[in-house]
Amino acid sequence: MKGLKKFFSLALVTVLIFSLAAGAWAAPKGWGQSGQARGHAERNIEQEHERNMNEGATVEEKEQNQNKEKEQEMNEQEKEPEQEKNRLKKQEKKKSVTEHVYKGVENALQHVKNPVARAALQAILEGRSVAQAVYEAKQCLKDWNDQNEIVIVAGELKEALEEDVSADSLTRAQGYKHLGEMFIKAGKMEDARSLLEQALRNNPGDDEIYSALNKVFAKVKDNKVKVYIKGNMPMFDVAPVVENGRVLVPLRVLAESLGAAVDYKDNTINIQLNNSTVKLVVGSGNALVDGNPVMLEVPARVVDGRTLVPLRFIGEGLKAKVNYYREGNLVAVE
């Protein structure tokens, strides 16, 4: 009997243990399902929050764009009166310039007797262009011998041309060239040179301007070498020299004025401009142009610490046009 009780007690304990174990094993499964559900819910909340944020940002961007458009529209409206004001100012200035020019022309007419010159001045008063008036005045130079009259007319036309806001660069170049020729006829070489150099700055490729400048330098007997590169006279720290009929100029200034690159190492000079290359050695008569051997009549040399190179050889080697005007000892490089 005691043995039977003991057996039932052990069986009961075993059942209780298994029941507890089964409950323990089942709990994590329920907890995992509950945690997974909570995770889904949290993600849904986050996604909803993100959508709300994006929608809010989109609305805010739209409002900002609308505000910018309104601001731009207001700025444009504010600019319109200012633009109109500037237009009226320009119109008034042009009117003032025109009246000033007319007054100067009328004064000049009181002192000019040459009929062709008077006709040129009268052309401005009749509304024709200043450039046309300058051209007509220049045309009568051959038979116009009163230098004082020429100076008066040229001076008034010069002022009119400078104040003519409608003239483009080529028109100005032509006008300054003709006026320079008028001042040459009047014997005013400094004025002529100044006007011709203004013409060059407006149209550096005009050979007629260089020819007129050549006359100026010849008349004043200026025998120094003058070099113009692309319409400008560069400042050389060592003056150009002439050797065996060849003009030599400082390398660096020449290259910079042409826009060329220079590599100078161990007395070997490499110069490049676009697709053209020139290579020469100081003191040597051998050179290369685009890889082809060339003999130099006058080699590069050093003077006062500066390397001087033959101007025509370098210019033409880099495909530039080089003209020499003997009377005025002038070299033009374009």
Stretch(es) of the chain classified as CATH 3.30.457.10: 241-333
**Residue closest to 214 by CA, chosen among 184, 235, 244:** 184
The answer to whether 330 and 217 have CB atoms below 8 angstroms apart is yes
Instruction: Quote the pLDDT of residue 188.
Output: 96
Average pLDDT by stretches of 10, the chain with 334 residues = 50 49 46 51 60 59 69 66 61 47 66 70 69 77 83 85 85 93 95 96 94 96 94 93 92 94 94 95 95 94 93 95 94 94
**Residue 176 confidence (pLDDT):** 95
CA distance 26 to 198: 103
Q: What DSSP line would sit under 53-65, residue for residue? A: HHHHHHHHHHHHH
| 44 Rama sector, left if φ>0, alpha if ψ -120 to 50, beta otherwise | alpha
> What are the pLDDT digits (tens) for 247-283?
999 999 999 999 999 999 999 999 999 999 999 999 9
Where does residue 201 rank: exposed (0-12), middle (13-18), buried (19+ CB within 10 A)?
Answer: middle
User: pLDDT at position 44, please?
Assistant: 61
What topology is assigned to 99-222 in CATH?
Answer: 1.25.40
- End-to-end CA distance of the chain: give it in Å, rounded: 135
Which listed CATH number (3.30.450.20, 3.30.70.20, 3.30.457.10, 2.30.30.100) goes with 241-333? Answer: 3.30.457.10
Residue 40 pLDDT = 57
The DSSP bridge partners found for residue 242 are 247
Amino acid 75: pLDDT: 66
Alpha-carbon distance of 269 to 251, in angstroms, equals 9
Parts of the chain belonging to CATH 1.25.40.10: 99-222
Confirm if 105 and 156 have CB atoms less than 8 A apart: yes
* CA dist., res. 81 & res. 78, Å (int): 6
| pLDDT, tens digit, 9 for 90 and up, residues 8-57 | 455 544 544 445 444 444 444 444 445 555 555 556 666 665 665 555 55
State residue 260's pLDDT score.
Answer: 95
